[in-house]
């Protein structure tokens, strides 16, 4: 596109950073999209692994907040995710990784690995407009976060010194046979959330045992 329409195509990257929540993932159902749960499309690798091992809800919760365990598994995620973003930016006209590197220790810039905060969205829009030689005041000011309906807690092993919330912002779940229905927003404490995930995994055991972690 850039070669064919020289000077008319501006390239950007998808905002993706899993440094805050490297223990979260999608579980794909072959031919049917993603498996749903209390965090909508997102599933926690530690909870999946705990269910597979037959651990109790309390034992799974202990692993979620075990700093040594999480640091061992996910301690390099911040560096690796930034490196991946910078690599993708090499062919892009607008970069944002420098801003993430500068600000990420003081505030949470992503709620999930692909749901950036309002601050980051506005900064990226500002940079895009600057590259396009447009006025930054074209950005519409929002009064609330547009993408914070799902907020897992920060992984305790990645080294961020940010306020640590032990509740998860998710969605109500109703399990009806093979159907998982999502409802209104709901805050979960870890054990309640693990309990719901365990019910879902027990009803989809073959799929869960086939998932690559």
Tens-level pLDDT at each residue, the chain (213 residues):
777 877 789 999 999 999 999 999 999 999 999 999 999 999 999 999 999 999 999 999 999 999 999 999 999 999 999 999 999 999 999 999 999 999 999 999 999 999 999 999 999 999 999 999 888 776 667 789 999 999 999 999 999 988 878 899 999 999 987 789 999 999 999 999 999 999 999 999 999 999 999
Domain extent listing, the chain: 24-158+165-210
pLDDT value of residue 139: 63
Name, in order, each residue with C-beta under 8 angstroms of 110's C-beta and a sequence gap of 6 or more.
Answer: 15, 17, 18, 19, 20, 21, 116, 117, 120
pLDDT value of residue 6: 77
pLDDT value of residue 69: 98
Instruction: Pinpoint the alpha helices (H) of the chain.
Output: 45-53, 57-64, 67-74, 77-89, 97-103, 118-131, 190-203, 205-210
Whole-angstrom distance, CA of residue 205 vs CA of residue 198:
10
Crossing angle of helices 190-203 and 45-53, in 10° steps, is 60
């Amino acid at each position: 596109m850039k070669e064919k329409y020289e000077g008319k195509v501006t390239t950007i990257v998808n905002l993706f950073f899993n440094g805050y929540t490297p223990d979260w993932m999608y579980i794909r159902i072959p031919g049917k999209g993603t498996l749903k749960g209390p965090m909508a499309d997102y599933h926690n690798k530690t909870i999946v692994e705990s269910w597979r091992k037959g651990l109790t809800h309390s034992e799974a919760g202990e692993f979620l907040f075990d700093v040594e365990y999480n640091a061992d598994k996910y301690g390099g995620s911040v560096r690796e995710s930034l490196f991946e973003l910078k690599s993708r930016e090499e062919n892009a006209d607008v970069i944002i990784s420098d801003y993430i590197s500068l600000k990420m220790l003081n505030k949470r810039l992503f709620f999930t690995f692909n749901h950036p905060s309002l601050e980051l969205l506005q900064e990226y829009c500002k940079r895009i407009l600057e590259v396009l030689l447009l006025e930054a005041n074209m950005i519409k000011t929002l009064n609330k976060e547009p993408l914070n309906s799902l907020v897992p807690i920060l992984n305790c092993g990645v080294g961020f010194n940010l306020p640590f919330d032990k509740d998860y912002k998710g969605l109500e779940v109703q399990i009806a046979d093979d159907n998982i229905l999502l409802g209104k927003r709901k805050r979960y404490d870890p054990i309640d959330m693990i309990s719901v995930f365990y019910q879902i995994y027990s009803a989809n055991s073959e799929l869960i045992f086939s998932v690559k972690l």
